[in-house]
């Protein structure tokens, strides 16, 4: 196709070719082309087939408002080729076709629309019930657009940025640019977002006069240059807003151009105030076959010529309801398009300039006429025009039908920010009321179409946004208000809802093949609101995010139901514009923590798993049951990296008071050189943490928390002491100190070789705390603990020393066969001993008493001053709570999965941890069950995930399973 | 900041004291109110012409507030990890320097995230000498 290469409005560079393939054949376009315009230039008119009926679809909006031009590009389905810029080497294919877009074997579906009435999948194929699973599979095969290979890997770099601004302007048209410039006058930082690859909006491609000197596109160029000159305006083009949230948080994504190092990037902006100047899109005209290739919107036809140098066809009929349509008709005629006729829905009210221009060019204008039907097999060949009342019809040959009922504002950002929309009978728009705080609107979306009014409203909005940021601009603002009042206000809009047709092939939603007839069927069934009808018919739920049906659906429902109430639009939700999950994922750095012994554990063959924020060695062999690791601890000596424990110093005159507040035990009873094990509860008495506390000096304590609570502990203590004015200081030492746990009957033999102190049972008994050095230089805080049920020493040392400490212990233990054990082995060892892990054996509603930890609670403490004590007092006499019990499986070779539920006629508990114990040779575990099921010997039925109804059985047994007298950890 | 000792008040009762110099580390005062947390934190410095362009890829914190003069401290997420960040210098063209500390365990992940974010700007690792000489020039 010949391109119009010398238009001053072009956004393509005809000196730079870009090559691509379509269906395996090579084509080329120009730099600045979209994939769709390049295909159009290469005579491609059918881009794909529709969802249900496999109807041919072509260019319609050029802004990606529907799925018509969604295609597979470089293996990615559903790429909106109307907005994707052409690049070299792209591989483009059509989608949703059997054969090709032009000859689709599934095209017969279009004849079967009578089999698929509104909501057919809810209503038919459900009786007898056995039919539905079969039908569902078949429906799923044909449903959906595009195909993504399961092993597909997204190419390109996906980035993210978080720029900050005082004022964020959404929309880079004339109003948006004026808003940005006006706000920038106050020295504020402005961000301007524009969805197209260039600024200009509806001025960008129009050659109509702006004033006596300039055309609209020249004015747009001037404004863009002014914006560019401002240091405090930051422009993001090709950037679509996807979400607007509380306190003016704007999310968007930007498509990278050939020079950018990102394919797309996610943008998150926190602004003080926001100007929404998103303009209008066109309201589709409803008539028979209104989506046939060759039917396109006014802006599409006009921009195709002026921006991309492509005449949309040779003979075009216009059926429009606004002056932009007449302006486009005149301009396209001047560019060489033949115009057999222009039909204007309006009987009167047209801009006299355009009436004169049409008359001057002898273009027939039919006022009060509208398109009723587009004819042709796969493309438009003729159109039937009719009077609005349907009394007279006329058939005209053409290859393009430019159709548009009117305009509709792009309100998505406003509604996401909480504004309610109300139908305005003057403009015919859904206009916002109760705008979010510090959010203003400007431009065409307010109903203003006069260029000077558009600019003046933008300037006023910019000044208002600046004032909302604290700028002292009242005088300027008042003058801008006066300027706007002196200019033409919002214009009267076209109210026609549909051409006088039955609507069988009049599509209200192109994405979902929802016709006017479908909407009527839904209403006739009893659905009376657009929101319900949207769900029942799926109108507006496709990739276009409601862009095509968003305005027409509520209008048509109100029209068909003869509602006297004003129409109500359907809800919009983010993302306003669909984008890739890869864009949301961004750079996706795995921000996990490593312990000071990470490299040591890697060298030792550790198999790592992410546990909370940490990377931890879970296994040290391919045996996921960890038999050797477990038995080595039970019979010999093992080393565990426990550095992820939370570790804190609390000191100051009131440190003890703070500990008393958050721990359930009486912390004043901590003895010199001894460890105090205790727990923290929340206000409901539910256990949130457990750990040990030692006194390291006067008013000075060192305590540990569970790994998962480390980050929350400081805030927890601060929160629960916030009104007391106590004098204490809390320092998080979690990362400052590493921890190695040396456990097993030979652990003392290893430690005594390197410790510069007596570690005998007499000198360093169970539950004692000592400070000493290892090999004379590594300072160690040591605790005699028994989490795994064996003689154990927990050694805390500064992180930098940890690799050396580990190496020393390994060397000292070599003669005993010391070896690492990981988190899974520790999990089994402590389970055998009946020691709990919070979150594993407990959940949100499990209190201290449920877990059998009531012995920790000092009831003599003031309940009102101990977090959770009041609730514990109330819960204590309650016999209907869950209880932690030990369970032994009837089949000793088979332990249930963690989290499996215990069932009777209902869920009556769940398994915390269960494993086959190599130590005792039985499959055992711990479970939380309802009290009546907690009796020793009670038989429990366990339903395991994906067990297909085959239950497992266990009996309640006493705990601990291993060394119930606790001799081994005290040896 | 004075004599390469940077003090930042964190809240009503606590302050952070950082020694930014090279060589001998000053002794911690022998008073119970001090806790040596050198082992607790990773400490990174970004300095050069595109610091804030790199930083905005990793954090929503607003380093370029016109009414804030360097040095100043912000606390918040940097690459999704809670950090204390001190803006040591900033210029309108986006050049400057920030110091950031995060939990030591995040050190490796943080370095990778920053280097990846800065790759497009030619960000490279630099040694302590490079930083201390730059710091000296700043103080001069």
Give the torsion sign (CA, A666, A672, A677, A682). Answer: positive
Q: What is the pLDDT of residue B139?
A: 65
- For the stretch A899-914, pLDDT in tens is 999 999 999 999 999 9
Closest CA to B125 of B137, B135, B136, B116: B116
Cβ of residue B17 closer than 8 Å to a chain A Cβ: no
Contact across the interface for B109 and A593, Cβ inside 8 Å? yes
Q: What is the pLDDT of residue A57?
A: 95
Give the pLDDT band of residue B28 (cuts 50, 70, 90).
confident
Residue A213 tokens, joined: 């000197």
- For the stretch A439-492, pLDDT in tens is 999 999 999 999 999 999 999 999 999 999 999 999 999 999 999 999 999 999
- Placement of tokens 């069932």 in the chain: A903
Quick one: average pLDDT of A141-151? 86
- What's the length of chain A? 971
| Contact residues, B window 42-101, toward A, CB-based 8 Å cutoff | 56-60, 62, 64-66, 79-81, 92
Share of chain A above pLDDT 70, in %: 100
- Placement of tokens 């050198």 in the chain: B38
CB pairs under 8 A between A and B: 91
Helix (H, G, I), strand (E, B) or coil at A610: strand
A706 has pLDDT over 90: yes
- Placement of tokens 């960000």 in the chain: B123
How many whole angstroms separate alpha carbon A255 and alpha carbon A928?
52
Contact across the interface for B103 and A593, Cβ inside 8 Å? yes
List of residues 6+ apart from A371 with CB closer than 8 A: A285, A287, A290, A317, A319, A343, A383, A384, A385, A386, A401, A403, A499
Give the pLDDT band of residue B23 (cuts 50, 70, 90).
low
Helix, strand, coil shares, percent, chain B, to 5: 25, 30, 40
Across A140-144, A278-282, A869-873, least confident range: A140-144
How many whole angstroms separate alpha carbon A551 and alpha carbon A419?
16
List of residues 6+ apart from A25 with CB closer than 8 A: none
Q: Whole-number mean pLDDT of chain A?
A: 94
Contact between A45 and A379 (Cβ < 8 Å):
yes
Q: Which of A595, A729, A734 sits opposite B14 (nearest CB)?
A: A729
A589 CB neighbours in chain B (<8 A) are: 79-80, 109, 112-113, 116
How many whole angstroms separate alpha carbon A78 and alpha carbon A96?
10
Closest CA to A195 of A284, A272, A255: A255
A653 has pLDDT over 90: yes
Across A134-148, A187-201, A629-643, least confident range: A134-148
- Smallest Cα distance from A658 to chain B, Å: 15
Give the pLDDT band of residue B128 (cuts 50, 70, 90).
confident
Full strand arrangement of the beta sheet holding A338-344 = A295-296, A400-404, A315-320, A338-344, A365-367
How many whole angstroms separate alpha carbon A401 and alpha carbon A376?
12
Contact across the interface for A614 and B33, Cβ inside 8 Å? no
Give the pLDDT band of residue B140 (cuts 50, 70, 90).
low
Q: What is the pLDDT of residue A466?
A: 97
B1 has pLDDT over 80: no
- For the stretch A818-857, pLDDT in tens is 999 999 999 999 999 999 999 999 988 899 999 999 999 9
How many whole angstroms separate alpha carbon A958 and alpha carbon A937?
9
- For the stretch A502-526, pLDDT in tens is 999 999 999 999 999 999 999 999 9
How many whole angstroms separate alpha carbon A334 and alpha carbon A367?
21
Q: What 3 state SS string does A95-151 have?
A: CCCCECCCCEHHHHHHHHHHHCCCCHHHHCCCCCCCHHHHHHHHHHHHCCCCCCCCC
Contact across the interface for A189 and B104, Cβ inside 8 Å? no
List of residues 6+ apart from A955 with CB closer than 8 A: A887, A888, A890, A937, A938, A939, A940
* CA A557 to chain CA centroid, nearest Å: 32
B112 CB neighbours in chain A (<8 A) are: 589
Q: Please write down the long-range contacts of A346-350, taking CB distance under 8 Å and 24 or more positions apart.
A: A346/A321, A346/A494, A347/A388, A349/A492, A350/A323, A350/A326
Q: What ipTM does this complex have? A: 0.93
DSSP per position, B17-42: EEE--SSSPPPPPSSTT----GGGEE
Q: Which of A162, A261, A589 sits opposite B109 (nearest CB)?
A: A589
Helix (H, G, I), strand (E, B) or coil at A354: helix
- For the stretch A846-901, pLDDT in tens is 999 999 999 999 999 887 789 999 999 999 999 889 999 999 999 998 999 999 99
Burial of A134 (0-12, 13-18, 19+ CB in 10 A): exposed
DSSP per position, A770-799: EEEEETTTEEEEEEEE-TTSSSEEEEEEEG
B interface mutation test: which of A156, A184, A587, A734 has the most B CBs within 10 A?
Answer: A587
Share of chain A above pLDDT 90, in %: 88
Q: What is the pLDDT of residue A543?
A: 84
Q: What is the pLDDT of residue B47?
A: 92
């Amino acid at each position: 196709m010949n391109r119009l290469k010398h238009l001053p409005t072009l956004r393509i560079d005809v000196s730079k070719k870009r090559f691509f393939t379509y269906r395996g054949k090579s084509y080329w376009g120009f730099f600045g082309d979209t994939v769709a315009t390049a295909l159009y230039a290469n005579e491609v008119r059918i881009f794909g087939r529709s969802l249900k009926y496999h109807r041919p679809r072509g260019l319609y909006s050029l802004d990606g408002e529907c799925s018509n031009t969604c295609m597979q590009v470089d293996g990615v389905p559903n790429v909106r080729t109307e907005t994707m810029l052409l690049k070299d080497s792209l591989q483009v294919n059509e989608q949703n076709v059997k054969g090709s877009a032009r000859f689709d074997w599934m095209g017969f579906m279009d004849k079967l629309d009578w089999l698929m009435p509104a909501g057919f999948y809810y209503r038919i194929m459900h009786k007898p019930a056995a039919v539905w699973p079969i039908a569902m599979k078949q429906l799923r095969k044909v449903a959906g657009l595009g195909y993504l290979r399961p092993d597909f890997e997204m190419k390109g770099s996906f980035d993210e940025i978080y720029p900050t601004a005082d004022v964020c302007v959404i929309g880079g048209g004339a109003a948006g640019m004026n808003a940005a410039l006006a706000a920038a006058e106050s020295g504020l930082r402005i961000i301007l977002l524009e969805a197209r690859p260039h600024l200009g909006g509806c001025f960008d491609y129009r050659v109509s006069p702006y004033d006596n000197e300039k055309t609209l596109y020249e004015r747009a160029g001037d404004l863009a240059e002014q914006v560019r000159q401002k240091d405090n305006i930051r422009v993001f083009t090709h950037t679509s807003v996807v979400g607007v949230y509380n306190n003016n948080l704007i999310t968007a994504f930007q498509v990278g151009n050939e020079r950018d190092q990102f394919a797309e990037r996610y943008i998150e902006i926190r602004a003080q105030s926001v100007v929404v100047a998103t303009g209008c899109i066109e309201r589709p005209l409803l008539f028979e076959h209104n989506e046939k290739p060759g039917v396109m919107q006014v802006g599409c036809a006009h921009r195709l010529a002026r921006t991309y140098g492509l005449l949309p066809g040779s003979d075009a009929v216009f059926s429009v309801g606004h002056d932009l349509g007449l302006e486009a008709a005149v301009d396209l005629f001047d560019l060489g398009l033949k115009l057999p006729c222009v039909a204007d829905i309006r009987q009167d009210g047209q801009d006299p300039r355009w009436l004169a221009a049409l008359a001057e060019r002898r273009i027939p204008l039919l006022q009060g006429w509208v398109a009723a039907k587009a004819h042709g097999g796969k493309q438009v060949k003729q159109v039937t025009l009719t009077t609005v009342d349907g009394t007279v019809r006329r058939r005209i040959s053409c290859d393009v039908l430019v159709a548009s009922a009117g305009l509709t504002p792009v309100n998505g950002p406003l509604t996401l920010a909480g504004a309610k929309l109300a139908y305005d009978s003057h403009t015919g728009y859904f206009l916002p009321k109760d705008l979010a705080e510090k959010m203003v609107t400007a431009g065409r979306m307010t109903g203003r179409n006069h260029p000077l009014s558009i600019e003046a409203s933008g300037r006023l909005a910019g000044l208002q946004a600046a004032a909302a940021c604290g700028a002292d601009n009242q005088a300027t603002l008042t003058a801008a208000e006066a300027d706007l009042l002196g200019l033409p206000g919002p214009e009267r809009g076209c109210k026609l809802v549909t051409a006088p047709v039955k609507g069988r092939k009049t599509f209200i939603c192109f994405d979902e093949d929802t016709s006017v007839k479908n909407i009527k069927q839904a209403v006739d069934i009893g659905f009376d609101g657009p929101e319900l009808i949207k769900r029942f018919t799926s109108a507006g739920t496709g990739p276009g995010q409601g862009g095509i049906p968003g305005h027409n659906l509520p209008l048509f429902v109100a029209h068909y139901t003869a509602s006297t109430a004003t129409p109500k639009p359907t809800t919009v939700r983010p993302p306003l514009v669909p984008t890739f999950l890869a864009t949301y994922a961004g750079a996706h750095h795995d921000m996990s923590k490593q312990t000071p012994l990470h490299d040591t554990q890697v060298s030792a063959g550790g198999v790592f798993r992410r546990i909370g924020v940490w990377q931890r060695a879970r296994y040290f062999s391919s045996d996921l049951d960890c038999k050797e690791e477990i038995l080595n601890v039970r019979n010999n000596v093992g080393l565990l990296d426990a550095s992820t424990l939370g570790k804190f110093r609390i000191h100051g005159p009131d440190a003890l008071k703070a500990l008393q507040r958050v721990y359930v035990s009486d912390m004043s009873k901590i003895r010199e050189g001894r460890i105090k094990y205790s727990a923290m509860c929340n206000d409901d008495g539910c256990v949130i943490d457990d750990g040990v506390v030692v006194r390291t000096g006067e008013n000075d304590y060192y305590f540990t928390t569970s790994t998962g609570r480390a980050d929350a502990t400081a805030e927890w203590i601060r929160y629960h002491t916030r009104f007391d004015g106590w004098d204490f200081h809390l320092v998080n030492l979690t990362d400052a100190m590493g921890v190695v746990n040396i456990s097993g009957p030979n652990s003392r033999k290893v430690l005594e070789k390197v410790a510069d102190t007596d570690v005998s049972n007499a000198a360093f008994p169970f539950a004692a705390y000592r400070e000493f050095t290892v090999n004379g230089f590594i300072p160690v805080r040591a605790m005699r603990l028994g989490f795994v049920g064996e003689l154990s020493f927990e050694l805390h040392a500064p992180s930098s020393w940890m690799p050396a400490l580990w190496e020393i212990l390994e060397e000292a233990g070599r003669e005993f066969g010391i070896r690492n054990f990981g988190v899974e082995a520790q999990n089994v060892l402590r389970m055998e001993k009946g020691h709990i892990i919070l979150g594993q054996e407990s959940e949100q509603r499990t209190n201290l008493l449920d877990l059998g930890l009531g012995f920790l609670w000092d009831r003599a403490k003031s309940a009102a001053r101990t977090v959770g004590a009041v609730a514990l007092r109330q819960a204590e006499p309650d016999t209907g709570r869950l209880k932690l019990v030990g369970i032994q499986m009837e089949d000793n070779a088979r332990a249930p999965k963690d989290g499996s539920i215990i069932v009777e006629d209902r869920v009556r508990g769940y398994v915390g941890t269960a494993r086959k114990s190599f130590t005792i040779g039985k499959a055992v575990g711990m479970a939380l069950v309802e009290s009546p099921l907690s009796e020793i010997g009670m038989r429990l039925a366990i339903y395991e995930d994906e067990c297909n109804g085959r239950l497992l059985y266990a009996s309640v047994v006493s705990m601990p399973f291993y060394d119930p007298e606790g001799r081994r950890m005290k040896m | 900041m004075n004599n390469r000792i940077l003090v930042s008040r964190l809240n009503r009762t606590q302050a952070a004291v950082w020694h930014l110099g090279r060589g001998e580390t000053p002794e911690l005062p022998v008073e119970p109110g001090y806790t040596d947390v050198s082992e607790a934190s990773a400490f990174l410095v970004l300095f050069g012409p595109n610091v804030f362009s790199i930083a905005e890829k990793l954090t929503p914190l607003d380093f370029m507030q016109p009414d804030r003069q360097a040095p100043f401290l912000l606390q918040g997420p940097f690459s999704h990890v809670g950090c204390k960040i001190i803006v040591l210098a900033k210029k309108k063209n986006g050049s400057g320097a920030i110091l950031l500390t995060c939990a030591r365990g995040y050190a490796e992940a943080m370095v990778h995230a920053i280097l990846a974010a800065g790759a497009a700007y030619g960000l490279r690792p630099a040694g302590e000498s490079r930083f201390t000489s730059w710091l000296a020039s700043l103080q001069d």
